[in-house]
Structure 1
Amino acid sequence: MGRTVRIATFNILHGRSLDDDRVDVDRLAAAVKALDADVLGLQEVDRDQPRSMNADLTAVAAEAMGAVDSQFVAALSGTPGGTWMAATGEEQPGSASYGIALLSRLPVVSWRVVRLPALPSRVPVWFRGDRLPKVVGDEPRVAVAAVLEGPHGHLTVANTHLSFVPGWNVLQLRRLMRSLAGTREPLVVMGDLNMEPRQAARVSGLRPLASAATFPAEAPTRQLDHLLARGPVTAEGPAEAVRLPLSDHRALAVDCRVRGTGPTGRARM
């Protein structure tokens, strides 16, 4: 049997704390270090944004956890309230952007970026506690996947942040799963999926590795953040919904036993 791999997902709210409404990169670094994940998916990640001190939050997190490989993928370029537009992947270094990141203490064999279908127009959405719907738009959504060299072979992990618009997030998750068809197993899909556990499992066709309420952070009542799997990967114990001193979400983490696959794709111990 191989050693355990700690896998976690965390919507970091661009590093902001609800307690003081500030972004503190040292606080973010300490939180990521305390989480002690081997593989970490982050959502709502800033790079070169004035609101987060023009920091590269992916680099801050990577250094804190001791990642050997990491990748930030922009969903939006520009600044909120200013030149805020869909990212293309061709942005110049140093330009302000916002998106997701995948970080790993395990070496990455290959990367893949998947740009998910964007909501074409503003739509009415009912939010909890509201008597009437609000007409809202949504930001572009992306996913990033990597094949990792695990303790006993390869495994595939993917991280994403799906739309909060009901139904549209289902379409996006289906699109992501189609893009991952035929990828090396075991497969772990993580992220803020903005849907409840039963729907996430049903739409993805994957089984949950972690069950714990993650939102809102102070007194969570819902699980919007997920770790889902297919193939020879199992949770070694109960998941943790970790309250950290930033964000409106809790991080979700679980220790897993992984039987990776070799170059032939067959599972090996």
Structure 2
Amino acid sequence: DRRSSRELYSTMCLSNGYEGDVIDNMKPEVKVSADEEELVAQLRNYLTEKLTYLLDQNGTISIGVSGGSMPKVFSEALLSVAPDLLNWKRIRIFMVDERHVPRDHEDSNLGAYLQLFPQELHHVFIPVPISKQVVHTAQAYEINLRKYLLPEQLNTYPRFDILFLGAGPDGHTASIFPGKEQLEKITDLNWVSALTDSPKPPPSRVTITMPCITNAKNVAFILTGANKREVVRAIHEGDKSIPAAQARPMNNKLTLFLDEHAAAGVPNRESSESDSPPPFDT
């Protein structure tokens, strides 16, 4: 079947009475920050809202995070959420993608988060077992994810509660790069795929697959800088020519956290960019 993952999932939703899950023309919610302090505050408010709801549900709360400069702002935001909303026994944090390097390597996404979280909270992170071959790392990581997360009833993919994604100027997100269509195929039922020829170093990585991203309950992008304007436009308008714009959850619960420079990519938005501060690094 050559239909896209969204088309297949939409068919399943409709057949099971989930009409609300297949609306495809809704625009994402946009939140613009003047500086990093405001970004952290907005992320904290977002996490507070989501955790308040999720704690009333049963089971594990799954939060996926990306690398780059996201560890700093995410860690500050989550650790400043009201303590009564942080049931660490139920929260599990996992890497959306990971470089195929040891945990103590400077390029390790997981290693970056572990440095920012206190030792007593390291257990909330789902480990990425690094094997000699990246394909074996992908297989081992998927096994770890499956220990904590059950597949969605309508298909074979997990239903992650919240995914925090970044994107490059080329439109890649997670470690799904333009032209790497094998990572987007619906025929690939894996939750995690291996990559050996990443355009960005290091070349070997593991990443959750696009169907896992689009199956998430909530997706939030954190994008800053003028070089992200076109990516922001593509995501906002649903231009699926780049992977980042394909990373829209089926239920359309998509939020963009932007600075003024990146927000200039939102069509018809009045911008005060001439008076805005330099972009902060995320």
TM range (shorter): 0.3 to 0.5
Query: TM-score when scaled to structure 1?
Result: 0.34
Query: TM-score when scaled to structure 2?
Result: 0.33
